[in-house]
Amino acid sequence: MRWSRFALAGFLVLSLTLVGTAGGGDTAKKLVGKWELTKSSEEKGIPPGATIQFTKDGKLKFHVKFGDKDYDFGGTYKLDGKKLNVNIEFAPGKSKMDTVTIEKLTAEELHLKDEKGKVDEFKRVKK
């Protein structure tokens, strides 16, 4: 299944656990919003154009398109300094937890590095 391969690769990059944004102050404020993937170092990972939205209350929404099919997933995240812990829910009772490091976070750019050293680059989606 393509979506599961995408999900595993993507959430090695975008993984977060538990609800809530604890700590991080300015980082937490900058992270909140919608981000679009512009470049992935994972060849068979998430395709460019996929989006992830971080909310103030520690929830996230992930959208990706494979071919002509759209997939939407929900989940939660927790920020711990520069570590981002993500829990993505693929189906009732099925989820994936991962941790990534924020390599760069500005008002317009977000770079996330997974535990294998692969970096995905995002740009903020303007409203």
Q: Which two tokens stand for residue 17?
A: 């656990």
First-to-last C-alpha distance (Å) of the chain: 33
- What pLDDT tens digit does each residue of the chain (127 aa) get? 555 545 444 544 443 333 333 445 689 999 999 999 999 887 777 889 999 999 999 999 999 998 899 999 999 999 999 999 999 998 888 999 999 999 999 999 999 999 999 999 999 998 7
State the pTM of this model.
0.78
**Alpha carbon 81 to its chain's center:** 16
CATH number belonging to domain 2-124: 2.40.128.280
pLDDT at 124: 98
Query: 111: closest CA among 10, 8, 37, 45?
Result: 37
